[in-house]
Amino acid sequence: MLSFARRHGAGYLFIVPFFALFLVFQLFPILWTFYISTQEWSGLGEPESVGLKNFRLLLTDPQFWDATANTLIYWVCGLVFILPLAMGISLLLNKRDLHGLRTFKTLTFLPYVCATVAIGLIFNIMFDTQQGLVNEVLGLVGLDQVGWLTTTTWSKVPVIVLNVWRHTPWFALILLGGLLNIPRDYYEAAKVDGAGAARTFWHITLPSLRPVLMFCMIMITVESWNIFAEPFIMRGPGTSNVSLFQYMYESSFRLFKYGYGAAIGVALTLILALVSIIQLFLMRKDADA
């Protein structure tokens, strides 16, 4: 035992901080959330055990289902818009002969480093019904004003636009890293064989980027189901654009229904786990094919 400690003690000592932080800030909160989800607690006094009552309430809560549907839409829109835009930007950044490449890189990554709250306030002004820039542009082309944040029909659109605008640069950076790792020999061989840009992209770039694209899909899934700041700042009428994460926060810290908020958190965790497992299964199946 002593000889084992002398031989490996230093190594284990180096990883102790990680496991200590993991236990305190990750594992304990997760276990506490599962425990509180079976309690009724306002934050004061002793929690009262209610079994699965909070989960039964979730099933009949229309606001929970609205928030789930909204988050699902944010997720799908994230996959549909962020990945193609990020791919297009990364392809442009990968062109070494592009004029003004440094300026373009700076402008591309600017949205990701801006504070979400500040940008959300600016987007609030832009999508204002009466004096917003977006409605002014629509008026110039002869279209009617749209109640972007005052109608249940359109209130999700500004949130989606802000979410796509903020996260596209980050995924463009990840895809650019993948593009830089593709050997130039592949492209030179394709050029010698007379392959055009479209065929080169389809038969070389896309297959080479497949692991990176799957990673981006999983990250977009996690980011989309955890979306909070965008709908919180750009609030629409009722629960028309409330996300599931936001509904969990408001149930816990505004209504002081910690047990119910924890139940929403558990449901969100299970949904994310299910979606991630399906994506990993598809990724493994695709890799084996």
What CATH number is given to the structural domain containing 203? 1.10.3720.10
- The pLDDT assigned to 288 comes to 66
DSSP alpha helices (H): ranges in the chain? 2-22, 28-36, 53-59, 62-77, 83-93, 101-113, 116-126, 133-140, 156-180, 184-192, 197-200, 206-225, 229-233, 244-253, 258-288
What's the pTM? 0.86
The CA–CA distances, whole Å, from 102 to 18, 168, 179 equal: 38, 18, 18
pLDDT for the residue numbered 289: 63
* pLDDT score of 14: 85
Judge residue 152's burial from the number of C-beta atoms within 10 Å of its C-beta, 0-12 exposed, 13-18 middle, 19 or more buried: middle
Q: Could you write out the DSSP letters of every residue in 100-129?
A: THHHHHHHHHHHHHS-HHHHHHHHHHHT-T
User: Structural domain of residue 251, as residue ranges?
Assistant: 62-288
DSSP secondary structure string for all residues of 223-264:
HHHT--HHHHHS--STTSS--HHHHHHHHHHTS--HHHHHHH
Is 273 contained in some domain?
A: yes
The amino acid at 89: I
CB atoms within 10 A of CB 27: 11
8 Å CB contact between 260 and 54: yes
Question: Tokens 């989960």 belong to which residue?
Answer: 55
CA atoms within 13 A on the CB side of 62: 3
Say what the pLDDT of residue 243 is. 94
149 is a domain residue = yes
Report yes or no on 30 lying in a domain: no
Phi, psi of 129 (to 5 degrees): -65, -45
Backbone angles phi, psi at 49, to 5 degrees: -70, 130
* Per-residue pLDDT at 1: 66
Q: Which helix (H) or strand (E) holds 40?
A: strand 39-40
Alpha-carbon torsion (264, 270, 274, 277), positive or negative: positive
**Encoded amino acid at 149, one letter:** L
pLDDT of residue 227: 92
Task: Let me know if residue 213 belongs to a domain.
Answer: yes
Q: Find tokens 């832009």 and name the residue.
A: 126
Residue 29 lies in a domain: no
Instruction: List per-block mean pLDDT (blocks of 10 residues) for the chain, which spans 289 residues.
Output: 74 86 90 92 86 92 94 94 93 80 77 82 88 89 87 91 91 91 87 85 88 89 90 89 93 91 92 85 72
DSSP β-bridge partners for residue 40 = 48
Structure tokens at 235: 């609030």
pLDDT at 242: 94
Assess if residue 20 is contained within a domain: no
- Which residue bears the tokens 């204002």? 128
pLDDT of residue 287: 65
Tell me whether residue 255 is exposed, middle or buried, using C-beta atoms within 10 angstroms of its C-beta: 0 to 12, 13 to 18, 19 or more.
Answer: exposed
* DSSP conformational letter for 45: S
What would the pLDDT profile of 18-74 be if each residue is shown by its tens digit?
899 999 998 999 899 999 999 998 888 888 899 899 999 999 999 999 999 999 999
Asked whether the beta carbons of 264 and 258 are under 8 A apart, the reply is no
Separation between Cα atoms, residue 180 and residue 173, nearest integer Å: 11
Cα–Cα distance, 169 to 164 (Å, whole number): 9
Q: How many domains does the chain fold into? A: 1
26 in a structural domain: no
Predicted pLDDT at 129: 85
Q: Is residue 255 part of a domain?
A: yes
Q: What is the pLDDT of residue 164?
A: 93
